Structure 1
Amino acid sequence: MLLVLVFSLLATCSTAEEKAPADSTPLRLTDVSTAEAFINSAEVVVVGFFKADEGNGFKEFLAAIEEVKTLPAALCSVKEVWTNYSINSDTITIFRKADLHQENLQLSKIKKLDSDGLVRFLTINDIRYITEYNQASAVGLFQSKVKVHLLLFANRGSTDYKPLKERLGALAPRYSGKMLFVLINGKEKANERALGYFNLKSSDLPRVGIYDGESDKTWLMAPGEISIERVQNFCDSFVTGELQKEKQAGESEAKNEL
């Protein structure tokens, strides 16, 4: 069943909402405190650790961050900073808050290094407090060490689509490293199989569910208002293990009701 969901998500190709472009000029990180401030400045940032300008991959990195303008980018050649983040050679690193992850791309290990490949690396790993499913993000989400997904199923264009995304995005930091918050557009035909995994149709939305990649199990929050309080209680019940007990006890009945 997990493979079915993975393949359906890889087939998804949603149009990302417009975001304000970041400054394309990379910041130079000169010490550890500057690096820490930069890494903490946004949900996702990218740092090019190059010993010298014009080194292997340097031009390709600049071209990639120019194309992926939604990611704040910086450069660093200071040995003290490299040591602080366990960098040993020229590396492009993405720092994420949603799953408290540092993703390193060691350039010496890349056989074919080009800007298109770096753009794909940046796009796949652009995992935020609430991430919309699309062809690239599905890969990054399933590669994360955080295997529990809080899913918001909503129809793009509906009046509650954007407010719900913002509401759950504000709650997501509370579960950094525990759950990844994900938005699935019910209007996207390629997402029908993902909805079907929860016995849902586009007409049933919006709804909230949890998918646990370790057990390959799903849970749906009861119909009703999707408030921060209700979603938080739903997440907390999973974290404490209470949700798993309740759903396992009445799983057949719950599925028949859907």
Structure 2
Amino acid sequence: MQISLFLSALVFSALAEEKDGTFPRLADTTAVEAFIDSAEVVVIGFIEGEESHGYAELVAAAKRVDTIAYALCSVKEVWADYSITSDTITIFRKADNHQDNLVLSNIKKLETDGLVNFFTTNELRYLTEYSQVSAVGLFNSEVKTHLLLFANRGSKDYTQLQDRLKTVAPEFTGKFLFVLINGALKSNAKSLAYFSLKTRDLPRVGIYDGHSDMKWLLPEGEISTERVQEFCQSFLRGDLKDVKEAGAEGKTEL
């Protein structure tokens, strides 16, 4: 808690005076780094000023996607630290240490709807709820292995399980993306079926490896942080390679 408060104070103490009252202004690399570290997903407009191409659209899009923290940096000396050479809108996320640059000069017709789509499809967190929108960002990420929590929204342990996995996820940054699949949604029926699961079987935890297109289920039982950690480690050690996939010959599991 103290560290979080320190980072927040560092961010805002390093801000230049705001001209429009919309976004904080980041005046140096220290402020940028602190801002990036202040939330799981942030967007920074590396833009010269309010008259620049894309500024108005960024302001409008930010109002529609209010789950992300936004800031501006107009100091070009700072841009170089992030390999940015011209006006760019960048999204930073902790879940996979990802930086995605939208170079404004490369876009002939920039629209608010396009920016909203850019933000929502790339808004991956330590635990990202699966949907048609988030699927784009999940499968475009360089991290191709997913730790999946299948749980029914509204069940008594739903929130507790989410919180539990959120505490584990940072340990596996760059190795796994942690994904929540709400089994109560009919649109997720195919995801459950892929693991030979039904709504009544939940909650369960599985691993999907995009490199090998293989999947495994954690055996039934308490979904504790320790069991999830060991499940992830067993994959990283290669212990699952010789284990039959979930769904192969019925419901073969680890």
Q: Same fold (TM over 0.5)?
A: yes
In the alignment, what sits opposite 1:64? 61
Shift of 1:209: 0.2
Shift of 1:199: 0.3
Matches for 1:142-153 after TM superposition, within 5 Å:
142-153=139-150
Query: TM-score w.r.t. structure 1 length?
Result: 0.87
Distance in structure 1 (CA, Å) of the matches to 2:33 and 2:107: 27
Equivalent position to 1:229, from 212, 226, 236:
226
Deviations 1:125-156 (A, max 9, x none): 00000000112101110000000000000001
Count of residue correspondences: 234
Is 1:255 the counterpart of 2:235? The answer is no
Shift of 1:52: 2.2
Shift of 1:66: 1.3
Question: In structure 1, the residue corresponding to 2:251 is in which secondary structure?
Answer: helix
Amino acid at match of 1:170: T
Distance in structure 2 (CA, Å) of the matches to 1:254 and 1:123: 37
Distance in structure 2 (CA, Å) of the matches to 1:25 and 1:209: 42
In the alignment, what sits opposite 2:116? 119
Is 1:246 the counterpart of 2:243? The answer is yes
Equivalent position to 2:134, from 132, 137, 140:
137
Deviations 1:153-193 (A, max 9, x none): 00011011111011001110000011000000001001101
Question: In structure 2, the residue corresponding to 1:93 is in which secondary structure?
Answer: strand
Deviations 1:1-56 (A, max 9, x none): xxxxxxxxxxxxxxxxxxxxxxx831101000011100111111000011222210
Amino acid at match of 1:144: S
Query: What percent of counterpart residues are identical?
Result: 62
Equivalent position to 1:204, from 201, 206, 226:
201
Is 1:88 the counterpart of 2:95? The answer is no
Amino acid at match of 1:102: Q
In the alignment, what sits opposite 2:23? 26
Distance in structure 2 (CA, Å) of the matches to 1:139 and 1:253: 31
Q: Note if contact 2:218-2:231 (Cα within 8 Å) is conserved in structure 1.
A: yes
In the alignment, what sits opposite 1:106? 103
Is 1:190 the counterpart of 2:192? The answer is no
Amino acid at match of 1:196: A
Change (3 A) 1:211 1:244: same
In the alignment, what sits opposite 1:4? none
Question: In structure 1, the residue corresponding to 2:242 is in which secondary structure?
Answer: helix
Amino acid at match of 2:22: T
Distance in structure 2 (CA, Å) of the matches to 1:78 and 1:161: 44
Change (3 A) 1:169 1:256: closer
Distance in structure 1 (CA, Å) of the matches to 2:247 and 2:163: 31
Question: In structure 1, the residue corresponding to 2:120 is in which secondary structure?
Answer: helix
Distance in structure 2 (CA, Å) of the matches to 1:176 and 1:168: 13
In the alignment, what sits opposite 2:43? 46
Distance in structure 1 (CA, Å) of the matches to 2:112 and 2:41: 19
Change (3 A) 1:134 1:251: closer
Distance in structure 1 (CA, Å) of the matches to 2:22 and 2:96: 27
